[in-house]
Amino acid sequence: MATLQHVCSAPLVRAVRSRAALSLSSSAATSTSAPVKRAPAVDSRVLLGMSEQELQKLATDFGQQSYRGKQLHHLLYKTKAKEIQDFSHLPQTFRDGLRETGWSVGRSPVHRVVAAADGTMKILIMLEDSRLIETVGIPVDDEKGPYRLTACVSSQVGCPLRCSFCATGKGGYSRNLMPHEIVEQVLAIEELFNHRVTNVVFMGMGEPMLNLKSVLEAHRCLNKDIQIGQRMITISTVGVPNTIRTLASHKLQSTLAISLHAPNQKLRERIIPSAKAYPLDAIMKDCQEYFHETGRRVSFEYTLLAGVNDGVEHAGELAEMLHSYGRGYHVNLIPFNPIDGSEYRRPYKKAVLAFAAALESRKITVSVRQTRGLDASAACGQLRNEFQKKPLLEPSITGPQHSPV
């Protein structure tokens, strides 16, 4: 769920971790004109995303003592080693054994980095099949507390939902991301900023609920292995039938953010075509269930589109709708971040403030999201579209290309 545009997913392993489950869509409606490589080999095996316990098991499967698995864990998540050859603490025989049996770390090269004046950085990561995904690092250093670094991660290559205001949706869909391809985005941000990521938002390319299995596995790794608190992780969705209750059943302490964008079903369907399959009433009831199961309030994202959904009458209708399902809701207003060729415009500040005031007067807590990186192709999908539609450079790039703007 690319809401950031609007500013800015059992033991798996048992010695074999297949990357073959890449769910390449047969109708892959990707916009890229670049030739993409075939999906990774069926027998490739990836270390990133494995738990300490799984890595210990892997080590003993290779005839090593289990503490070698702990060392592997440290190398992956603390040292952030990118290649097996960099595991200098491990015996050569173990490293050779891993390589010879097709194991890899699972880190991908950074294709491009674009920096905005406000410190926000957007990264294009080139996956093993040469597809590109976007990740955004958003640093916040203010009087409210210690320095925070948020990673806005993608969950799919592109997105099949095609929300009308979204650059990612316009760019088409290729496939779901594997868990390690989500985790590596966070590590890439940490490396780029030379700082640990404090918050993760699933608001990059893709709809996380369409790739819930990978999102949940990545969530486990981010929380347990990389040590990012569950409460510091937000999963954002426009709503996919039958998934919110599934997520609720995992009883995570993470925030669920619903991208609402409209106070009624009719307008919502105009903005989000996929909303036809999931009426507002059903979403709101599922949100009540999420709160019931997790004790965590659901927040609502509302992208303000000038002249479409940003009137005070819309605010009144939104407040009324939310109150009909309970109390204590929080609405996050996001002034639209213009994208190329969009039918929508960014609202004036006056309209944003009037909308916020109309909600507050009806006892709805509101925040207006500061638009970050407006000068860095901040709308989710914009940067990827720019590069993926052109022939890609050969992945022989030795390092990231920085393009300060």
Footprint of ligand SF4 on 212-251 (CB under 6 A)? 238
Footprint of ligand SF4 on 2-21 (CB under 6 A)? 2
Residue 330 binding ligand SF4, by CB under 6 A? no
Residue 90 binding ligand SF4, by CB under 6 A? no
Residue 166 binding ligand SF4, by CB under 6 A? yes
- Give the one residue of 69, 137, 169, 347 binding ligand SF4; rule: CB under 6 A: 169
Please state the closest distance from residue 133 (CB atom) to ligand SF4, in A: 12
The residue from 128, 134, 190, 207 that is catalytic is 134
Q: How many residues bind ligand SF4 (CB under 6 A)?
A: 13
Residue 305 binding ligand SF4, by CB under 6 A? no
Please state the closest distance from residue 163 (CB atom) to ligand SF4, in A: 3
Please state the closest distance from residue 310 (CB atom) to ligand SF4, in A: 17
Footprint of ligand SF4 on 136-165 (CB under 6 A)? 159, 161-163
Identify which of residues 187 and 205 has a Cβ nearer to ligand SF4 in the complex: 205
Please state the closest distance from residue 162 (CB atom) to ligand SF4, in A: 5
Indicate if 52 belongs to the active site: no
Residue 206 binding ligand SF4, by CB under 6 A? yes
Please state the closest distance from residue 205 (CB atom) to ligand SF4, in A: 6
- Give the one residue of 184, 207, 217, 301 binding ligand SF4; rule: CB under 6 A: 207
Residue 301 binding ligand SF4, by CB under 6 A? no
Please state the closest distance from residue 187 (CB atom) to ligand SF4, in A: 22
Residue 168 binding ligand SF4, by CB under 6 A? yes
Identify which of residues 240 and 364 has a Cβ nearer to ligand SF4 in the complex: 240
Residue nearest to ligand SF4 (CB): 169
Indicate if 134 belongs to the active site: yes
Identify which of residues 16 and 29 has a Cβ nearer to ligand SF4 in the complex: 29
HEC profile for the chain?
CCHHHHCCCCCCCCCCCECCCCCCCCCCCCCCCCCCCCCCCCCCEECCCCCHHHHHHHHHHCCCCCHHHHHHHHHHHCCCCCCHHHCCCCCHHHHHHHHHCCEECCCCCEEEEEECCCCCEEEEEECCCCCEEEEEEEEECCCCCCCEEEEECCCEEECCCCCCCCHHHHCCEEEECCHHHHHHHHHHHHHHHCCCCCEEEECCCCCHHHHHHHHHHHHHHHHHHCCCCHHHEEEEECCCCCCHHHHHHCCCCCEEEEECCCCCHHHHHHHCHHHHHCCHHHHHHHHHHHHHHHCCCCEEEEEECCCCCCCHHHHHHHHHHHHCCCCCCEEEEEECCCCCCCCCCCCCHHHHHHHHHHHHCCCCEEEECCCCCCCCCCCCCHHHHHHHCCCCCCCCCCCCCEEEC
Residue 341 CB neighbour total at 10 angstroms: 7
Contact residues: ligand SF4, CB under 6 A:
1-2, 159, 161-163, 166, 168-169, 205-207, 238
Catalytic residues: 134, 380
